[in-house]
Amino acid sequence: MDVTEAVDSRKSIRAFLDKAVDDSLIKELLEKTSRSASGGNLQPWQIYVINGDTMNSFHKFQSEWTEPETPAYAIYPENLKEPYKTSRYEVADDMYSLLGIAREDKEERFKQVLKNYEFFGAPAAFFCFVDRQMGRPQWSDLGMFLQTFMLLAREAGLDTCPQEAWAMKQESVTAFVEAPDELMLFCGMAIGYQDESEKVNELRTSRRPVEDWAVFLDK
């Protein structure tokens, strides 16, 4: 698989097969991912892997944790502008129409959202934390790290879904992984093999054309 193929075949998977992923494979992928660029080579990522029996313990812990939680951060800006707002609504509409869930069917939509908190059935996952001292530049390093991981996962035949939804459950996640106070949760990453029979995985999200966001200067 070349890089173009990895980039093109990566997509967010929201239904996984019950097929285990070895810790050793995840470790190998993380080692390779550590070649990601980061400003000043700070490598500001802190990763907690959840796999095997730990995944079962995590699901149990999660279902017992009932207190409402303070979100780690605001996932989207308030009053999201165009064209971002439309893109955001489009992807949701495309996904729900693929699933045959009507716009007004809040209950079914919510059920789909809740699948985030089961890692969409993925057998493995990690949580990505960052030191609270870090600012925007280091947060962008996290993005590079996560994308590199997702592409390497494709090369290994694995699928992924990055998940900011976990920001809403940061207290329970932090308690489970026993992260120190100086760390804050950025996101989760579901890891496994996609269930090709599931409609939700047919989603091929659109992109705005290059002309809309890239300017080739000619002065």
Q: How far is the CB of 167 from ligand FMN (least distance, A)?
A: 8
Closest CA to 135 of 168, 172, 184: 184
User: By CB under 6 A, what part of segment 57-116 binds ligand FMN?
Assistant: 91, 116
**Span from 8-16, 21-29, 130-138, 172-180 in contact with ligand FMN (CB under 6 A):** 8-16
Of 53 and 135, nearer to ligand FMN (C-beta) is: 135
Q: How far is the CB of 217 from ligand FMN (least distance, A)?
A: 28
Q: Where are the alpha helices (DSSP H) in the chain?
A: 3-9, 23-33, 53-64, 84-98, 106-114, 136-155, 170-177, 210-213
Element (H, E) at 51: strand 45-51
Query: Which residues are CB-contacts of 199 (< 8 A; sequence separation ≥ 6)?
Result: 98, 99, 100
Query: Which residues are CB-contacts of 44 (< 8 A; sequence separation ≥ 6)?
Result: 38, 130, 131, 134, 138, 141, 142
Q: How far is the CB of 164 from ligand FMN (least distance, A)?
A: 4
Q: How far is the CB of 165 from ligand FMN (least distance, A)?
A: 3
**Span from 17-25, 60-68, 163-171, 175-183 in contact with ligand FMN (CB under 6 A):** 163-171
User: By CB under 6 A, what part of segment 177-216 binds ligand FMN?
Assistant: 187, 205
**Span from 7-15, 40-48, 58-66, 209-217 in contact with ligand FMN (CB under 6 A):** 7-15
Query: Which token pair is 11?
Result: 């997509």
